[in-house]
Amino acid sequence: MLLLSLLLALLVAAPAPAPALPAPAATPLPPEYILGLIRAKFRSHRPPPPYVTYTLQRIQNNEQGYPDYVESYTYHIFCRSADQACLGRKVYRGTYRGDAEFLRPAFNEDRDPGPPTADLFEPAPLRPRPVEFVPTPEAEQTPMKELGSVRALGEFDYRITSFEEVDGAVHLFVEPTRNPERNRIREIWADAKTYELRRLDVTDRLFVSGNGPTEVYGMKYTLSMAMLQGFPVVTNLHGIVGDNYSGDGKEVQFIFRDIAFPASLPAWYFDARSYGRHLAEMPE
């Protein structure tokens, strides 16, 4: 009986267990680190597949605000990623197609932007390049380096001016730390979990040729992105020309659709001198 009384006294005197503490909240990543993750995620998909085919639709109005039928058109395009050489055919009504044209789509050049698998972090060229210019093929990307347990994510081209997270996406306002004419990204939207690109606002240029010297106007593109077979692709471009431009195509839209990655394409597609020998084999 005495032993039972002692046990009861000990139980009463014992302190109550401390309440469980809530788990510490995860420390938010710095915006600069998130920008590095977004770039690294995009780079992890580079280079793109060897070949890409797509339909490009350009839509714009003339200076009076009416549909510009001359500069609104559709092309079927067949590209080799290594040198961005492409065969294009203009699409008319029905099954009629225009003659084969040698193309090399590019941003910040005097031609239509593209391809949908373009390197969106690539700096703009120092000066306009002719379509004959052959770009250097992209190298295979290596995994991010790790220093101890910390991944090395350097970002030297842009600084973050504003950051927010909304609707499952991170939204970054950025400005170049150097070469603002070449480092052309201004806003970035990416998935908050995977850091895959959803949308970009970038600068570009419109080249207007006439009787005199070529005039160059600054413009801004909003790029909409999607994933296709594990690769990020541009699906839509909406452009507005600035610098007080008031001519045809002040506002323009490019739609990239029917994007595909064929295993191979004939080599003659990328040699304009061969087109005349393959008229019966032309892709539609």
Task: Quote the pLDDT of residue 150.
Answer: 46
If one counts every other C-beta atom within 10 angstroms of the C-beta of residue 36, the result is 19
pLDDT at residue 149 in the model: 41
Report DSSP state, residue 144.
P
Q: Domain residue spans in the chain?
A: 28-116+146-281
Element (H, E) at 4: helix 2-13
- Options 2.50.20, 2.40.160, 2.130.10, 2.60.120; CATH for 28-116+146-281 is 2.50.20
* Structure confidence by residue, pLDDT tens digits, 92-140: 988 899 999 999 999 999 999 999 999 999 999 999 999 999 998 888 7
Amino acid (one-letter) located at 174: V
- E-strand ranges in 119-266 read 146-147, 150-151, 158-166, 169-176, 185-191, 197-208, 215-228, 231-241, 251-260
Total-model pTM: 0.85
For 21-57, give the secondary structure using H, E and C. Answer: CCCCCCCCCCHHHHHHHHHHHHHCCCCCCCEEEEEEE
pLDDT digits (tens, 9 = 90+) for 194-244: 999 999 999 999 999 877 889 999 999 999 999 999 999 999 999 999 999
Measured over the CA atoms of residue 207, residue 238, residue 115 and residue 195, the dihedral's sign is positive
Torsion sign (Cα): 160, 164, 170, 172: negative
Q: Is 145 or 188 the better-scoring residue by pLDDT?
A: 188
Whether 19 shows a pLDDT value over 80: the answer reads no
Q: Which of these, 204, 212, 209, lies nearest to 243 by C-alpha position?
A: 204
Q: What is the pLDDT of residue 9?
A: 53
Residue 162 has pLDDT above 90, yes or no: yes
The continuous run of DSSP H or E covering 98 comes out as strand 97-103
Mean pLDDT of the chain: 89
Residue 124: CB partners within 8 Å, gap ≥ 6?
A: 107, 108, 181, 182, 183, 184, 203, 204, 205
The amino acid sitting at 215 is: E
Residue of 263, 273, 253, 278 lying closest to 56 (CA atoms): 253
Residue 281, pLDDT score = 95
Mean pLDDT of 50-75: 95
